[in-house]
Each structure stands twice: as C-alpha cells, then as structure tokens.
Amino acid sequence: MQTLSVCSRVLWFAVSLVAFTMGALPLAAQQPAVNRSPPSAPPAPAAQPGGPPPSWQQARPESDEAAKLAPVPALPIATAVDKLPVNKLKLPKNFNIEVYAAGLTNARSLRVDDKGNVFVSTRVLDRIYAVTDKNGKKEVRTLATGLNSPNGIALHNGALYIAEINKISKIENVADKLDNPPKPTVIYDDLPSDAPHGWKFLTVGPDNRLYFNVGAPCNICMPSDRHAQIRRINLDGRDAEVVARGTRQIVGMDWHPTLKQLYFTENQRDWMSEDQPHDKLNRITQPGKDNFGFPYCAGGDIPDPQFGWGHSCDEFTKPLAQLGPHTAPLGMRFYTGKMFPAEYRNAIFVARHGSWNRSKKIGGDVVVARLNPDGTVKSVEPFITGFIVDNNYIGRPVDMEWLKDGSMLLSDDYNGAVYRITYGPQRVSMGR
C-alpha cells in the first residue's frame, strides 16, 4: 500500500509538472484560412474629360497642397499571408494578434453565425466571402458575386441579409447552403442608386427590424429627402420609416447592450480644413426626431461655411464624442464577451480607417470608448495602433466582430485580411 501511495504521488507530481510546463509555453496560433486565388480589385474610375469631377473633389480648395491629397486606394490584390503587418501592430499588454484569414481582397464588414461561420463583405468588389471550418481546417469560399457594392451584411435567425447600394436582399438558412448558395432574394429596393456614399451598413435591432444608412451623395450638398438618413424596415422589407436625419455617411452601428439604443459612427465633410471638422460617435435617443446636423453643422460644433448660415449647431443632436478630424471611423461594436478583462465589458471598440484629407495622416487604428452608466462617453483611448508608418498606410482597419470565445475579429480592407485578437498567454502567430 505504501509503495502504491508513493507511485501515485510520483505520478501526480509528473502530471502536474507537465501541465504547469504546458501552461507556461506560448499557445500555438490557429492556422489561418487562406484564399489561394484572391480576386483583383477594379481600378478606380477615371474622370471623363470635360465631365464633372469625382464627388470627393467637391469643394476642394484651389491650392497646390490640396491638389496633393486624394483618397487612398486599397491594394489591388490581397496581401500574402506572410507579408501581413501583424508584427508591426501594437496592442495593450497581454493582448495578442494573429492572422485569421487572408486572400479576402477588400475585406469589409464582418458577421459570425451560431456555427462559427464568418461572413465578410466587400465594397469595391461584387462579392461576399465566407470563412468556414471543414474537418477542423478553416477555408475561404465565395458565397455570392455580381453584387453592387455589398458592404452591409447582417445575420438573423439563420438568414444572411445583404445591403447593396440600391437594394437589400437575403439568403435564408445560409449555413446550410454554403456548398451551393442560391442567388439572394430581394426584399427592398426603394433606394437611391448614387455611388458616392451609397454603400451601407446593416444591423438588426432589438425590435427585430433591419436598420441601415442612406448616405449623402456628395462631399457637401443639400441632400434630397431620400438621402442623409437612417431607415428601418421589417425583415420582409415592408413598413419602411426614417428614424434619424442629418447623417452624412455611416459605416458602423451597434446596439447598447442594456439601454438598447442605436449607436453609430459618422464621417464628416472634407476640405473645410486639415483639423476640422471632427468625425463623430452618435446615438439615437429619439427615433424619428433626432437630426444630426448635416449639411448645416459639421462635427457637432461648427456651422458649415456654405449651408450653416442662419443655423446654430444647438438645433441638432449632439455627438457623444468627437473622434478626430478626417479619421474615418467605420465599424464599431460593444464588447459583451468574457475573454477580455472586465474593464472592457460594454465598452465600444471603433475602427478608425484613417484620414486621406490631411497632409499628416491620423487614425488608422482601433480605439476603445468607455462609457458612463447613462451611456455617455467617459473616455476614448487607443487599443490597436501601428497601421500608419512614415505617413503611409500598411493596413486599414474596417470592422470588428466577436467569436464565441470572446476574441475579436478585425477586417483590413487595405490588405484583404481578417485578424484575430485574443487576451492571455503570448501566442505564436503565423504572421509574427
């Protein structure tokens, strides 16, 4: 009996030592999904001789310095997995970043279903990707093509909703149809067809209705009654109504976990100055009544030089926070997972795509907005930095979403990739 007891203790010690040693070693990163044949992005349309200038040039000052500034195109084809810039990105202590999927040219909005399938939209391409797990190995497939700037996607009760410039459609039970996906079924098409700011963001509200933006078709102009607004429709496309006006362009929305109010990022006009106006973080507290100021008030605090005469910014719904001039805040999500420390619970993560309308670029990062109990913003702090090196982009964050384990997925349309951010022991990444 004593010999057996000694042996048992030796075995217990050996098992404990192995467990301790394994716990002290870095966790092996998952193998990323790689699209071996990434599509090429189409070139930006050239201005026609004698025709109108592109919308982004509207109100551009006649100066040599202004003439040097232009929107930053993404790379024409996705960056190879071993060239992605994860080793140059900086995160808070004990946070780690790895490549989740590569070869997704122009990767934009993200959605994750209950089975762990990740859906990825595009804006300058015509397609939706799906990142799936097959026999324990992740793979990239193309779910739909032939779409008109399908930036907005949402999942609800197994259906994937897709927002193009001029229509919204759906694929029912999409997870069961990944091997042979059908053509999306149109549910709503009472939308303008303007390409400038025509791409959409899509979310499902606590009322089980679809919410989406209709952007202003210009840099600065007096929009029609059909533009510069947030609408909602039933899941079958019926009963459309406007829930907010005065919004120039929105590419990120999410719902407060307890207040159930819609928060959204908003991009402000260009060419006012390098340091004004500030882009915004907003929320709707009075559906159907809130007006966020476009085109009369910029950044929440500056009357527009062209349209602001006779108006005060106090007439309009104030932003919760200013997010910097021309920083282009896009995707935003409340954190409701459990992997990250408790201080991040119910905070908002915002992907700032980064400026082009400044000689010195800013943004190009992910920030976290911590909130007060009443939903107002307490602070905005850096979370992921390093996408700008020597005033050039090495990546541009767009949208984020959460996996079941509480880790973050982050899309980068410049490189055509999706990254995964975790908290815990240092991970060994394919890209580091």
Q: Tens digit of pLDDT for each residue in 176-196?
A: 999 999 999 999 999 999 999
Domain contains 18: no
Domain contains 365: yes
Whether the predicted pLDDT of 413 surpasses 50: yes
For residue 358, the enclosing domain spans 62-107+327-432
Domain contains 206: no
Strand duo 27-28 + 427-428: pairing: parallel
Number of folded domains that form the chain? 1
Distance between CA atoms of residues 270 and 11, nearest Å: 69
Beta strands in 215-320 (DSSP E): 229-234, 241-245, 253-255, 262-266, 278-283, 297-298, 302-303
pLDDT of residue 165: 98
Whether the predicted pLDDT of 428 surpasses 90: no
Domain contains 336: yes
Domain contains 401: yes
pLDDT of residue 370: 98
H/E stretch holding 20 reads helix 2-24
Distance between CA atoms of residues 203 and 217, nearest Å: 21
Side chain identity, residue 266: E
Distance between CA atoms of residues 349 and 15, nearest Å: 41
Domain contains 379: yes
Domain contains 139: no
Distance between CA atoms of residues 68 and 58, nearest Å: 15
Q: Tens digit of pLDDT for each residue in 270-281?
A: 999 999 999 999
Q: Could you tell me the pLDDT band of residue 30, with boundaries at 50, 70 and 90?
A: confident
pLDDT averaged over the chain? 92
* Mean pLDDT lowest among 31-45, 71-85, 278-292, 355-369: 31-45
- Give 394-426 as a DSSP string: S--EEEEEE-TTSPEEEEETTTTEEEEEEESSP
Distance between CA atoms of residues 72 and 361, nearest Å: 11
pLDDT of residue 426: 66
Residues in Cβ contact with 247 at an 8 Å cutoff, skipping those fewer than 6 apart: 213, 215, 216, 228, 229, 230, 264, 266, 282, 292, 294
Q: Tens digit of pLDDT for each residue in 380-398?
A: 999 999 999 999 999 999 9
pLDDT of residue 48: 67
Domain contains 276: no
Q: Residues 274-299: what's their mean pLDDT?
A: 98
Q: Could you tell me the pLDDT band of residue 26, with boundaries at 50, 70 and 90?
A: very low
